[in-house]
Structure 1
Amino acid sequence: MLQSRFTRSRLLNQVLATTTLLAFIYFSLNNLLPAIRYNVVPHRHPILLDNAQSKARPGNNTSSPTVHLVIASTKADDTSWTSRLTIPNLTILRYISDDPSAPFHPPKPKGHEALIYFTYLHDFYDSLPDLTLFIHASETPWHVEGTLLRNTTFALSQLNLHKVLQQRHYFNLRVTWRAGCPAWIDTTKTHSDFDEAEEPFMAEAWRANFGVDEPVPDTLGGPCCSQFAVTREAIRRRPREQYRFSRDWIVDSTWSDAILGRVCEHMWPRLFTDEASDCGYAERGSLCQMYGVCFESEGELEGYKELWEERERLKERMSFLRAVWDAKKAAGAKGRFGEVNDEIERQLSVAWRRGHA
């Protein structure tokens, strides 16, 4: 009887193992393998990127301005993409916040990009180039717009440096008004009543950096996200001591890194232009004037942005886990993604050619 029970148990285990194996094979063929296949999403637009970069703004080394590219980074960041930049007279200064042995680093790993920027502004005050570009470390950050392919290499390659020098003097690399203009931050908000996390801190930060006699604007506006170009003259509108003071203020502050970074984000326009708001230029005009990406109408621009948002939604539906759950839906998303991607490339190519005609 014991042998009969052992035989039955072994047979049951074999049946369970076989059933499990068959189920895994079925799952792999119908879900896992298709998910792996559908998860391949093209993030670059190779034709547009390569053509646009090869035909970037004309100019030679003798007529082009001298440029510093100040990168706010950590040791873990990959900034190798900067080697593809073709900006003449460019010097790359990578600041590494968490490596005190790096050639360029802030006093402490604090305040996000703000402490790095103030450190540069103080240390290079007497040896500034014609133009300085302040950026984050990622090549594809969310705060570079879809109209610039969410690609910093593309954006910087198209940026009209001469117009920054001759007309803008301070230029936020992000131009969309969404979540920023015409008024975004209410400086009268308190810790018991606020919409944005930095609002209750803004008035105190303003007075600390600009002096108690400096009136605090009731509202502040401007595109986010602390990536901008600024000329030597605009930087030197303020004395070097201003940047030393703001650097030390961040170092000594007890506020969180996130709050310090966000309050400084709203003070850059005041530092370099004396204006509290950076909402004087509409998105479509800035895209055309500063990047040579010229949409014919507001409707055309909005249509493009809707396509880009659909592209981002489709990317989420094509994620590996979602494809495993529903491979057929992922397959449909992949097909639509290709159509949307092609249309984005077509529309942006037309806008780019219009700006470079």
Structure 2
Amino acid sequence: MMLDTLPLIQKLRLEHVDEEGYAALRCNWNHCPKVEVVPALNEDDDFWSFDGLYAKAWTKFFPHEDLPTGVTGPCCAQFAVTREAVERWPIAKYEQIRHWMWTVEGVEEVSMKTGLVLEYMWHIIFGKPHYYCPDTEKCWCEKFGMCDLNCERDGWCLGQSWLNPEKNPHMGLSQDIPTGWPEEGQSEPGKGGYFPYDGWWLDPEEILNH
């Protein structure tokens, strides 16, 4: 199981990012494949929901665009993006989004809720469809060059998930870091463990140059 993203970032294939424009850094499905957001302007959000806030934000940011009927995408707003994708919108658009985050009113847990809205909006802003669930095995291979993984089930490849669906079938919010990690608690070599090699955590200089 991967519990450190530095070695993964070092494997990111920039040519893939150039081809795609936007590339989420998570391949395993957490929220996919289900629709996570159903924007509705008349929706009263509870503590965990944000369908109503999403709809209000969408109509503010994109007043001439139809409101999506359903939105989903890779978890957690961790992505690589090209200059061209960013420049699809003028600077004023990003300033508008930032101002909205700072000034939105009438929302409990405002920082969490605005963050969730954008988590499910960045992929659209940068040119991907509303419903965006890339194939997991293809994602690992094309994005990181990891083409020999065991991907027996949709949305998850053995050893590459911070949420192990065998242990957490309902995909809970977190999983404890194993005692003794990183020396202990990793998968077997070749199955996602010792990534990118056994002992990588011992030599920071080697990590930076790997």
State the distance in 2 between where 1:163 and 1:307 align: 23
Aligned: 1:201 with 2:53: yes
| Letter aligned with residue 113 of structure 2 | I
Aligned: 1:218 with 2:69: yes
State the partner residue of 1:347.
191
Contact 2:150–2:158 (Cα < 8 Å) also in 1: no
Contact 2:35–2:70 (Cα < 8 Å) also in 1: yes
Q: 1:223 to 1:195 in 2, by over 3 A?
A: farther
State the distance in 1 between where 2:101 and 2:5 align: 27
Q: 1:316 to 1:293 in 2, by over 3 A?
A: same
Aligned: 1:309 with 2:153: no
Aligned-partner SS, 1:156: helix
Aligned counterpart for 1:241 among listed residues 92, 100, 117: 92
Aligned-residue Cα RMSD (Å) equals 3.6
Q: 1:268 to 1:258 in 2, by over 3 A?
A: same
**C-alpha offsets along residues 301-354 of structure 1, whole Å, 9 cap, x if unaligned?**
6544699739989x95977xxxxxxxxxxxxxx9xx96x6352x342369979x
Deviation at 1:244, TM superposition (A): 1.5
Aligned-partner SS, 1:171: strand
Contact 1:269–1:277 (Cα < 8 Å) also in 2: no
| Letter aligned with residue 91 of structure 2 | R
Q: 1:303 to 1:156 in 2, by over 3 A?
A: closer
- Taking structure 2 as the reference length, the TM-score comes to 0.71
Aligned: 1:299 with 2:144: no
User: Percent identical across equivalent pairs?
Assistant: 23
Contact 1:173–1:227 (Cα < 8 Å) also in 2: yes
Deviation at 1:217, TM superposition (A): 0.7
Contact 1:181–1:223 (Cα < 8 Å) also in 2: no
Which is bigger in relative contact order (C-alpha 8 A, separation at least 6)?
A: 2
Aligned counterpart for 1:186 among listed residues 26, 38, 42: 38
State the distance in 2 between where 1:308 and 1:171 align: 20
Deviation at 1:266, TM superposition (A): 1.1
State the distance in 1 between where 2:178 and 2:129 align: 44
Q: How many residues align?
A: 183
Deviation at 1:296, TM superposition (A): 5.0
Question: Matches of residues 45-124 of structure 1 in structure 2 within 5 Å?
Answer: none
| Letter aligned with residue 208 of structure 1 | K
State the distance in 2 between where 1:195 and 1:351 align: 38
Aligned: 1:272 with 2:123: no
- Taking structure 1 as the reference length, the TM-score comes to 0.44
Aligned: 1:154 with 2:10: no
Higher Cα Rg: structure 1 or 2?
Answer: 1
State the partner residue of 1:174.
26
Q: 1:219 to 1:235 in 2, by over 3 A?
A: same
Contact 2:159–2:187 (Cα < 8 Å) also in 1: no
User: Hey, which of these two has a bigger chunk of strand by percent?
Assistant: 1
State the distance in 1 between where 2:143 and 2:14 align: 8
Aligned-partner SS, 1:289: helix
State the distance in 1 between where 2:166 and 2:33 align: 25
Q: 1:268 to 1:155 in 2, by over 3 A?
A: same
In the alignment, structure 1 segments of 5+ residues that lack a partner are 1-145, 320-333
Q: 1:312 to 1:264 in 2, by over 3 A?
A: same
Q: 1:242 to 1:318 in 2, by over 3 A?
A: closer
State the partner residue of 2:112.
258
